[in-house]
Structure 1
Amino acid sequence: MTITQLTYVLAIAEHKNFTKAAEKCFVTQPTLSTQIQKLEEELDILIFDRGKKPIELTEVGRKIVHQARNIVNESDRIQDIVDQQKGFIGGEFRIGIIPTIMPTLLPMFLKAFIKKYPKVKLKIEELTTEDIIQRINDGHLDAAIAATPLENSNIKERVLYFEPFVGYIPEHHRLYKKKTIDVSDLEIEDMLLLEDGHCFRDGVINLCKAFKDQTNENFQLESGSIETLIKLSNEGLGMTLLPYLHTVELNENLNHNLRYFNEPSPAREVSIIYHKSELKMQIIDALHNVISGIIRGAIAFQNVKIISPLAK
């Protein structure tokens, strides 16, 4: 039994197809199939049910995949241990970023990070918090940037910054004439929200419910993007809340619709998160230092109240 064979098993389990798995592993399909067959013969079991389309794991195959994932992940850590001992900051680093953070934060730090740490090969994916946690636990991500706290015993969190919520209120809305707004002004029924699956949506709902008994969740409209929420709001379909960094580059013609909260401003906590057994700490430290240094000049808010991103 070899690490290579177990890597092939994981690839087939993920793609449910021998051809796609071979492409992922950069080998020919006959090579991959031969190694899987040798492993099955050695163990005297079938890992895959090849009669199903797509290919499925057998009952024992599911248990083998679970253990194989642990073995392959741990084998990868040997190089991490060496790099850490040498203080080497380089190699591949897989990071996930949630959709409401990716478009604003990534352009702010990526160029500076690459310039300072040219030997690090970042592989960046836009993922929901749920997918991020799953991939960190499965060993498919080294770290992620997400709203916290997540209250997950396997995940460590290092705070990067606090990002206030900002009201976006169109003309003719009941709150438009107010210079600043208070959380008690919010009504869940006239709030435009992101679609289910976005933690910023859950934060907005938690914010509204924290100050009023608002259990009715029959929202007017939901959207997959903050940009669409702004457009819908401009059409007079309701107000919305935006993360502060989304307001920084907002068209000047729309700035008159922004309303800041009375202090303490409701805000989300944004952190770099990683598995408690993560070993690439030198790269996590580098990311934390670069992002914290850049964001310090963009967000000056101090008196904030952190709103949970967890659905309640």
Structure 2
Amino acid sequence: MTITQLKYVLAVAEYQNFTVASEHCFVTQPTLSMQIQKLEDELDIQIFNRNKKPIQLTEIGLKIVEQAKTIVDESNRISDIVHQQKGFIGGEFKIGIIPTVMPTLLPMFLKVFIKKFPKVNLIIEELTTEDIIKKLSDGHIDAAIAATPLENEAIKERVIYYEPFVGFVPEKHRLFQNKNIDPEDLELNDLLLLEDGHCFKASVLNLCSAFKKDTTAHFHLESGSFSTLIKLSKEGLGMTLIPYLNTLDLNEFDQKHLREFNVPAPAREVSLIYHKSQLKMQLIEALKKVIDGVVRGAISFNDVKIISPIKNKKGA
């Protein structure tokens, strides 16, 4: 039995296909199949039911996969322990970033981080919060940047900034003449929202729920990006809420449509998060230090009210 064989088993269990698993393991399909067959022969059991489409784990296979995850994770941590002891900042570092943070934060820190730590192979993936939690738990990513708090005991959270919500209000909207707005002013029937799956949408719904708004109201339009929501708002289809950092790149004309909330402004907490068993702390500390340095000059709000990104959280 080898670590490599266990990695092949985990790949097939994840992708439910020998060919796809071999591609992700960077080996030929016959090589992967042969090694798994060799392991099954050694153990005198069948890990996979190959007659099923897609391929399924047998009852004993389910138990083996769970143990294999632990063994492979622990074997990977040996290198992490050595690097941490030596203070080495390098190697592969996989991070996930939620879609509503990626476009604004990533350009701010990526070039600085790469220049400062050239020995780090940074692999970045845009993921929803749900996918981030799963991949952190499965060990597929090392850290992530997401809206918090997540109330997950297995996840450590390190706050990097607080980002207020800002209203974007079209000229003929009832709130356009207001210098500032309050959460009580919001009406979901004329509020353009992101599509399901975005934690920022959940935060907006929680904001309205906190002020006893009807969160089951019909949304006549939803979109996947803030830029689209802004364009639709300018067409008079409703107002929208966007994170503060998204307002910095707006042109002078569009900035006239921005309305800040009265203090304490509703805001989201954005954190660097990682699994409690993570050992690549030297890389996490390096990343947080770089991000702290670049966001300090761009965002510095203290008098805010944090709105939870967890769906349907009452009284957030």
TM-score where L is the length of structure 1: 0.97
Gaps (5+ residues) in structure 1? none
Alignment of 1:56-95 (within 5 A): 56-95=56-95
Alignment of 1:67-216 (within 5 A): 67-216=67-216
Identity, % of aligned positions: 71
Counterpart of 2:284?
284
In structure 1, what is the Cα distance between the partners aligned to 2:188 and 2:208? 6
Alignment of 1:251-270 (within 5 A): 251-270=251-270
SS in 2 for 1:192: strand
In structure 1, what is the Cα distance between the partners aligned to 2:27 and 2:311? 43
273-282 or 181-190: bigger deviation:
181-190
* Contact 2:208-2:215 at 8 Å conserved across structures: no
266-275 or 29-38: bigger deviation:
29-38
34-43 or 216-225: bigger deviation:
216-225
The alpha carbon displacement at 1:214 in A equals: 2.2
CA displacement 1:189-225 (0-9 Å, x = unmatched): 2111111111000101111111234243322211111
The alpha carbon displacement at 1:282 in A equals: 0.6
SS in 1 for 2:123: strand
Counterpart of 1:248?
248
SS in 2 for 1:5: helix
In structure 2, what is the Cα distance between the partners aligned to 1:11 and 1:239? 46
SS in 2 for 1:82: helix
In structure 2, what is the Cα distance between the partners aligned to 1:35 and 1:200? 45
Q: Kindly provide the amino acid, as one letter, of the partner of residue 261 in structure 1.
A: F
Q: Kindly provide the amino acid, as one letter, of the partner of residue 159 in structure 1.
A: V
CA displacement 1:38-83 (0-9 Å, x = unmatched): 1111121111111122222222212221221121111100000000
In structure 2, what is the Cα distance between the partners aligned to 1:172 and 1:28? 62
In structure 1, what is the Cα distance between the partners aligned to 2:216 and 2:196? 15
Q: Kindly provide the amino acid, as one letter, of the partner of residue 127 in structure 1.
A: L
In structure 2, what is the Cα distance between the partners aligned to 1:180 and 1:57? 58
CA displacement 1:243-291 (0-9 Å, x = unmatched): 0111100122211110011111111000000000110001100111110
How many aligned positions are there? Answer: 312
* Contact 2:163-2:244 at 8 Å conserved across structures: yes
Q: Kindly provide the amino acid, as one letter, of the partner of residue 71 in structure 1.
A: I
* Contact 2:149-2:309 at 8 Å conserved across structures: yes
Q: Kindly provide the amino acid, as one letter, of the partner of residue 165 in structure 1.
A: F
62-71 or 106-115: bigger deviation:
62-71
The alpha carbon displacement at 1:144 in A equals: 0.2
Counterpart of 1:219?
219
In structure 2, what is the Cα distance between the partners aligned to 1:22 and 1:131? 23
TM-score where L is the length of structure 2: 0.96
In structure 2, what is the Cα distance between the partners aligned to 1:169 and 1:212? 22
The alpha carbon displacement at 1:298 in A equals: 0.3
In structure 2, what is the Cα distance between the partners aligned to 1:284 and 1:307? 25
218-227 or 254-263: bigger deviation:
218-227
CA displacement 1:126-148 (0-9 Å, x = unmatched): 00000000000011110000000
In structure 1, what is the Cα distance between the partners aligned to 2:52 and 2:218? 42
In structure 1, what is the Cα distance between the partners aligned to 2:177 and 2:119? 52
In structure 2, what is the Cα distance between the partners aligned to 1:246 and 1:31? 48
The alpha carbon displacement at 1:31 in A equals: 1.8
245-254 or 196-205: bigger deviation:
245-254
CA displacement 1:152-203 (0-9 Å, x = unmatched): 0000000000001000000100000111111111112211111111100010
Change (3 A) 1:109 1:307: same
284-293 or 299-308: bigger deviation:
299-308
Matched, 1:298 2:293: no
CA displacement 1:98-152 (0-9 Å, x = unmatched): 0000011000000000001111111100000000000000111100000000000
The alpha carbon displacement at 1:28 in A equals: 2.2
Counterpart of 2:238?
238
